[in-house]
Amino acid sequence: MSASQADPVPETKKSGSVLDERSKFMLGRVLTYGILVLAVVLIVFPMYWMISISLKLPREIYRTPSLWPQVFTLENYRILIADKGFLRPILNSLLVSTVVTVISVLISSFAAYSMVRFRYRFKGVIGRIILFAYLTPTSLLFIPLSILMARLQLGNSLHGLILVYLTFSLPLSTWLLQGYFRGVPRELEEQGMIDGLSRLGALLRIVLPLSAPGIAAVSIFTFTGAWNELLLALVLVTSETERTAPLALNYLITSDVLPWGPLMAGAVISSVPLMVLYFIAQHFMVQGLTAGSVKG
Amino acid sequence: MSEVQETQPQRPGMTWLNAHRRIQIFAYILVTPVVLLILGLVAYPFLFAIYVAFTDRVIGSVGNWIGFANFQYLFQTATFSSAIWNTITIVVVTDVFKLLIGLGLALLVNQNIPGRGLLRSLLILPWAMPAFVAFLTWRVLYQPIGGGLNLILTQTGIYPHVIDWLGQRQTAMPSVILASIWRGFPFWFISILAALQSIPKDLYEAARVDGANAWERFWMVTFPGIKQVVIITTLLSSIWTANAFEHVWLLTQGGPSDATMVFPVLAYFGMQTQRIGEAAAVSVAMLPVLAILVIVATSLMQKDED
């Protein structure tokens, strides 16, 4: 770690024993890569295990476990989708996450724009409420929310789920979008308004397009948040047809027989699209990630 | 206050006050939907949870105000004490490890080394993985029969016997903690890495010219540069870890015999027994500590914004 800030170029320029500096530098490199490769192996192994179990026959999972599948099979995926009906939960998850993302990003961008561009009474208070809401954990809200949803006749429905997911997605997207909008120069908007755009026009035609990378990042974070949610779904959804993907997998492990193969097939189906998305979009996602902005 | 100075060419007859007011109304209209939804979906349920915690509400009956009786009862139960200690243990141990691993890896990747982009992408993979998938996968890894961890330990000869990692009191908690660190450290890594990259390179050069060694450079340049991020990340991570549900629920459901019981899982079980007042009291019990963390975090984050 000590060599971490050493820039190799000034290092060699320095006076003193060149060979000594050089071998020290090489040793630092070997150690650096050694540790990083070890870390990558520890990170990748569980993912490898998830994929390999999903491709194994039951006898290879339980009786003669091995690191590499002897026979590759898609049987687990067939069981999961045909027998356990996993397509429905995946579609439910897609629907809920998409609707939550569209609603949140739309109305949060209005709120964030308002708070970044204008000065008015209560702005400080509103900002604080949004931050408090962002940090209020679901574990504190799931009991009252379930009572509230029952009262609104929205329990056990995807509509209800969409509504309660706004509890975490709205504060998150408003908070993040404020950061992005602050980066859009006010002069561009003023120029647009001189050219005849209204305030709303300036927001829709200038601010939003210029914040496109930010909006994409916020959309991915919001979508992920809804896609991953388990506790509220567990409390609110009772019927099998309304289950989301995490909920369906949760019920796979609470049954008596633990079907590891189909379970890991479900894990692969639920995670690979998101991980590919992160991999592609990581540049602007990491860019927009200010300290502690997104739930880890 | 430049919005006040704006001219509106289309409406020459408008007075200054009217233009100003119009803009204010527009600003309020834009912010209203989010404010209303947050008041209805977060603020109201939050206050309602506190109220319910002081009642003997059950499913089917609204119940009566019973003061601190729920809390008095809870503090006498062994399960609740376990939840307190387990929550504290998980928060402290995972945060310390996530900090050390995240900081260490961020310092390594922040070097000017070939392949750093790819390494960074690989190191944040657990963060991109849904939490429920991560913990289901670890559940399979920990299995005595067919679990990857036992397979590696027995085949490499590190430990010859199969261990039921999640089924024994001594190993259940470390297993939950290990899985939580695996899933949680990339967030620290990426936050600290971003902070490291914003430290000007000249500062290191200046420190080097002054004769500071690597250790001194870390404390004089690196540490002040990342201090704020580390503090905020610690606060946020503590709030989230203390309130996380998936890790324990999907790995052990709080077992064996409450060895890994934490507040959110206990509250969920409470709700399943239909004693809503008591369940609410479980989640409200940690509110005083939580409130302090949240208030400190929000003031730091708002300061950070300016």
Instruction: Find chain B residues with C-beta within 8 A of A217's C-beta.
Output: none
Chain B stretch 91-120, residues whose beta carbon is closer than 8 A to a beta carbon of chain A = 101, 104-105, 107-113, 119
Q: Which residues contact A4 (CB under 8 A, 6 or more apart)?
A: A32, B107, B108, B110, B111, B214
pLDDT at B44: 94
* A295/B229 Cβ within 8 A: no
Q: Is B222 on the interface with A (CB under 8 A)?
A: yes
Q: What is the predicted pLDDT for the residue at A145?
A: 94
Could you report the per-residue pLDDT of A47-87, keeping only the tens digit for each? 999 999 899 888 777 777 777 788 888 888 998 888 888 99
The total of structural domains in chain A comes to: 2
B292 Cβ contact list (under 8 Å, min separation 6): none
- Distance (Å) from the alpha carbon of B31 to chain A's nearest alpha carbon: 4
Q: What is the CB neighbour count within 10 angstroms for residue A48?
A: 15
| Predicted confidence band of residue A291 (pLDDT cuts 50, 70, 90) | very low
Which residues from B are below 8 Å from A64, CB to CB? none
Which SS3 state, helix, strand or coil, does residue A137 take? coil
A62 in any annotated domain? no
Same domain as A197, residue A110: yes
A47 and A83 share one domain: no
DSSP code at position A244: -
Confidence check: pLDDT of A4 > 60: no
A178 contacts in chain B (CB < 8 Å):
305
Could you tell me if residue A70 is inside a domain? no
C-alpha triplet B85, B91, B93: angle, nearest 5°: 95
Could A135 and B214 be called an inter-chain contact, meaning their C-beta atoms sit closer than 8 Å?
no
Residues A44 and A185 grouped into a single domain: no
The average pLDDT across A108-112 equals 93
Model pLDDT, residue B248: 94
Joined together, the tokens standing for residue A255 give: 């049954």
Same domain, A142 and A193: yes
Region class of B253: left (phi > 0), else alpha (psi between -120 and 50), else beta: left
- Asked whether residue A8 is assigned to any structural domain, the reply reads yes
Q: Say whether B38 and A117 touch across the interface (CB within 8 A).
A: no
Q: What percent of chain A has pLDDT over 90?
A: 39
Residue B7 confidence (pLDDT): 47
Residue A15 DSSP symbol:
S
* Contacting residues of B for A140, CB less than 8 Å apart: 46, 49, 243, 283-284, 287, 290
pLDDT value for A284 = 67
Q: Are both A180 and A110 inside the same structural domain?
A: yes
The pLDDT of residue B198: 84
Q: Do A34 and A125 sit in the same domain of this protein? A: no
Report how far apart, in Å, the C-alpha atoms of B140 and of each of A35, A248, A267 are: 26, 17, 11
d(C-alpha B7, C-alpha B21), whole Å: 13
Shared-domain flag, residues A165 and A38: no
pLDDT tens by residue, A129-184: 998 999 898 999 999 999 999 889 888 899 999 999 999 999 999 988 988 888 78
**Nearest CB to B112; choose among A7, A39, A289:** A7
CA gap B193, B116 in Å, rounded: 12
Segment B186-227, tens digit of pLDDT = 989 988 998 898 888 888 888 888 888 888 888 888 998 899
- The DSSP secondary structure of chain A, one letter per residue, reads -GGGG--HHHHHHSSS-HHHHHHHHHHHHHHHHHHHHHHHHHHHHHHHHHHHHHTS-HHHHHTS--SS-SS---HHHHIIIIIS-THHHHHHHHHHHHHHHHHHHHHHHHHHHHHHH---TTHHHHHHHHHHHHHS-HHHHHHHHHHHHHHTT-TTSHHHHHHHHHHHHHHHHHHHHHHHHHTS-HHHHHHHHHTT--HHHHIIIIIHHHTHHHHHHHHHHHHHHHHH--HHHHHH--SGGG--HHHHHHHHHHSSS--HHHHHHHHHHHHHHHHHHHHHHHHHHHHT--TT-S--
CA distance B51 to B54: 6
Nearest by CB: B229 against A53, A291, A294:
A291
Closest by Cβ to B298, choosing from A61, A128, A227 = A128
In total, the C-beta contacts within 8 angstroms joining chain A to chain B are 320
pLDDT at B305: 60
Does residue B232 belong to the interface with chain A, where contact is any CB pair within 8 Å?
yes
Closest CA–CA distance from residue A8 to any residue of chain B (Å): 8
Residue among A132, A174, A278 whose CB faces B298 most closely: A132
Query: A153 lies in a domain?
Result: yes
Using the predicted structure, report yes or no on whether residue A293 has a pLDDT greater than 60. no
Closest CA to A166 of A98, A212, A104, A105: A104
Hey, are the CB atoms on A119 and B1 less than 8 Å from each other?
Answer: yes
Residue A292 counted as domain residue: no
CB < 8 Å to A243, chain B: none
Mean pLDDT of A186-192: 84
Residue B250: predicted pLDDT: 93
* Domain extent at residue A134: 78-287
Please check the confidence at residue A259 and state whether its pLDDT lies above 50: yes
The reply to whether A117 and A253 lie within a common domain is yes
User: Which tokens in the block code for residue A158?
Assistant: 């995807």
Residues 146-165 of chain B whose Cβ lies under 8 A from any Cβ of chain A: 146-148, 151-152, 155
Residue A29 covered by a domain = yes
* Closest Cα in chain B to A268: B133
Asked if residues B106 and B222 have their Cβ atoms less than 8 Å apart, the reply is no
Tokens of B259: 């060895």
Q: Helix or strand or coil: residue B55?
A: strand
Residue A72 maps to a domain: no
More reliable by pLDDT, A95 or B112: A95
| Chain B interface, best mutation among A140, A199, A234, A254, by max B CB count within 10 A | A140
Q: How far apart are CA A168 and CA A164, in angstroms?
A: 8
Output the domain CATH number for residue A141: 1.10.3720.10
Query: What pLDDT is recorded for position B177?
Result: 96
Give chain B's residues under pLDDT 70: 1-17, 304-306
Q: Same domain for A156 and A263?
A: yes
User: Is B214 at the interface with chain A, CB within 8 A?
Assistant: yes
Q: Considering only CB atoms, which chain A residues are within 8 Å of B301? A: 131, 291-292
**Of A177, A152, A176, A178, nearest to A163 (Cα)?**
A152
Q: Is B293 exposed, middle or buried (0-12, 13-18, 19+ CB in 10 A)?
A: middle
User: Domain check: are A234 and A202 in the same one?
Assistant: yes
Interchain CB contact of B37 with A (< 8 Å): yes
Which residues from chain A sit within 8 angstroms of residue B215, using beta carbons? 2
* A26 and A107 together in one domain: no
Does one domain contain both A235 and A175?
yes
Tell me the DSSP string of A275-286: HHHHHHHHHHHH
Q: Do B104 and A35 touch (CB under 8 A)?
A: yes
Instruction: Give contacts of A231 with chain B, Cβ < 8 Å.
Output: 245-246, 249, 264, 268
Considering only CB atoms, B35 lies closest to which of A33, A126, A137, namely A126
Nearest Cα residue to B176 out of B185, B166, B184, B168? B166
- Domain membership of residue A136 (yes or no) is yes
Identify the residue whose tokens are 């569209």: A102
Angle between helices A260-287 and A212-228 (to 10 degrees): 150
Which of A107, A167, A277 is nearest residue B42 as measured by Cβ atoms?
Answer: A167
